[in-house]
Amino acid sequence: MKFSRFTWRIIGLIVLLGFTAFFFVPVIWVLLATTKTDTQLTSAGPFAFGAFSHVAAAWRALFGFQSDAMLEWLKNSAIYSFGGVAIAIVAAVPAGYGLALTQFIGRRTLLVITLITMIMPATALVLPLFLEMNVVSLTDTAWSVILPFSFFPFGVYLCYIFFSSTIPKDLLAAARVDGCNEWGVFRYIALPLARPVVALVAFFAFVADWNNYYLPFVMLSDNSKLPVQVGLEYLISSTEAFNPGNPGAGSELVKRPELALAILVAIAPVAIVFLFAQRTLVKGMLAGATKE
């Protein structure tokens, strides 16, 4: 197809804008939904702006739900996520390095096993995980969530792929020839170069932990320990529009605009982290690291 470069550019722009609309219009809708009342959602248009007072009302209703449960849930989510990410990074980055750039018996087996455990459906792991936590009496505690979170094979694979395809081998060889031991190579050569993948792994770990519903749902029964994802479930079941068999559910004032606000509050931390992490996330930085 011989279109001019200009035509291709236009097509490209249309495609990009089309996808932007696909991805982002729902988010805009949610933002606008918080400014409307429940009836306005269907009566006014989807892009109509309601009033800021409605947002304030929705905020009050949401945070008043179950005596400030929302704040508690957000705090819990933060603790579980940061805890999980911290341990996951400490484990995954060296592991990815070791798998990619050192030799030892069982290296390939480890890779295979990691892949297997990643592919195992989570529903099957619920019971054994629960039993494990029960044996050490950790069920219904923060550790029952943080510890499984810190097992992050996806991150190990990301690091493995990064270290095996990005770090210039002659750089490492040079360092080794200089007398650096393996730890030194990791600490002074690989790690500084690996900042983007560390940021990437930390980011994905954070998002996975923040958004994880299933594990906390199973492990935690005390309401004060729930993270925001599980709390969102209870909000849904308290919304008459989504749970009609529960008459009187609407008495807790959770209507759809409050749900929209809850969605935004639930994702705000991830959005903020992503904004800040963007800079370090995707820098290419091998320019100048090797002489060829």
Partner 1 sequence: MTPSPVATVPDERTSARRGGRTGGDAPIGTSRTSGYVFVGLYVVLLLLFGIAPTAYAIYLALTKVGGGFAWGSNFARAYDDFRFLPAFEHVGEYLAIWMIAEATLILVLALMLHSLARRTSAAFRFLFYMPGALAGAASVLVWLFMLDPTLSPWHLLLSGMGFSQIDLVLLPTHLPFIFAIMAFWTGAGGWIVVMYGALNNIPDELLEAARLDGANAFQSALRIKLPLIKKWVVYMLILSFAGGTQLFVEPQLVGQATAGLVSNTWSPNQLAYYIAFINDNFNEAAAISVSLLVLGLAGAALLVWRTKLFEIS
Partner 2 sequence: MKEKESTNTRRRRARWLRPMRLVAAFACLAGVSFTGAGIGSLGAGASSKPTLTIWYDTARKPMLQAYIKAHPDVHVVAVLKDGDSNGDGTYQSAFALYNRVGHGWPDVYFSEQNNDAASLSQPPFNDAAVLNKGLVSKSILGKFAHGSAGLCTIGGKVYCLRNDLAMNVLWYNPALMAQDGITSVPTTWQQWAADGAMAAAHGDIIGTQGDSWDADTFYWGNQCPLSHVTSPGVITIKPTSTNCTEMASLLDGVPRTALPVAYMFSSTFGSQYGGKIVFYEGAAWMGGVFPGLGSCKSTNPDCTMAAGYPLTWGSGGPGVTGAIGGGLWFVSSHSKHLKLATAAVVWFATNSTAQSKLSPGYPAYGPDDAAYVATQQASGNYATPLSGAPTLAQAFNKAANEIWAGWSAVPYANDQIWASDVVPTLASGGTQAAGLGIFAGDAGNLARSDGFQVHS
**How many other C-beta atoms lie within 10 A of the C-beta of residue 158?**
20
Binding partner 2 (rule: CB under 8 A), the pick from 43, 102, 181, 278 is: 43
Question: Buried b vs exposed e over 9-22: b needs ≥16 C-beta within 10 Å?
Answer: eeeeeeeeeeeeee
Selection from 147, 150, 148, 144 nearest residue 226 by Cα: 144
Q: Does 14 bind partner 1 (CB under 8 A)?
A: no
Cα 240 from chain centre: 29
Q: Does 117 bind partner 2 (CB under 8 A)?
A: no
Nearer to partner 1, 71 or 173 (CB): 173
Q: Please, which residues have CB within 8 angstroms of residue 175's CB and are 6 or more apart in sequence?
A: 184, 185, 188, 189
Q: Does 238 bind partner 2 (CB under 8 A)?
A: yes
Q: How far is the CB of 196 from partner 2 (least distance, A)?
A: 18
Q: Does 122 bind partner 2 (CB under 8 A)?
A: no
Q: Does 41 bind partner 2 (CB under 8 A)?
A: yes
Residue 71's binding partner out of partner 2, partner 1, none, with CB under 5 to 8 Å set by partner kind: none
Selection from 282, 91, 98 nearest residue 183 by Cα: 98
* Interface positions, 22-41, toward partner 1 (CB under 8 A): 22-30, 33, 41
Nearer to partner 2, 249 or 277 (CB): 249
Q: Does 39 bind partner 2 (CB under 8 A)?
A: yes
Q: Does 229 bind partner 1 (CB under 8 A)?
A: yes
Binding partner 2 (rule: CB under 8 A), the pick from 53, 102, 237, 278 is: 237
Residue 120's binding partner out of partner 1, partner 2, none, with CB under 5 to 8 Å set by partner kind: partner 1
Query: Considering CB under 8 A, how many residues would be counted as binding partner 1?
Result: 120
Q: How far is the CB of 177 from partner 1 (least distance, A)?
A: 7
* Interface positions, 54-113, toward partner 1 (CB under 8 A): 87, 90-92, 94-95, 97-113
Helix 122-135 / helix 143-150 crossing angle, nearest 10 deg? 130
Q: Does 222 bind partner 1 (CB under 8 A)?
A: no
d(CA 57, CA 146): 35
Q: Could you give the residue ranges of the DSSP H alpha helices within the chain?
A: 5-33, 38-43, 52-64, 69-101, 107-119, 122-135, 143-150, 153-166, 169-177, 182-184, 191-193, 195-211, 214-219, 228-237, 256-281
Q: How far is the CB of 202 from partner 1 (least distance, A)?
A: 13
d(CA 69, CA 231): 8
Applying CB under 8 A, the residues found at the interface with partner 2 are 39, 41-43, 66-69, 72, 75, 79, 82-83, 86-87, 89-90, 126-127, 130-131, 134, 139, 141-143, 146, 187, 218, 221-225, 233-234, 237-238, 240-249, 251-252
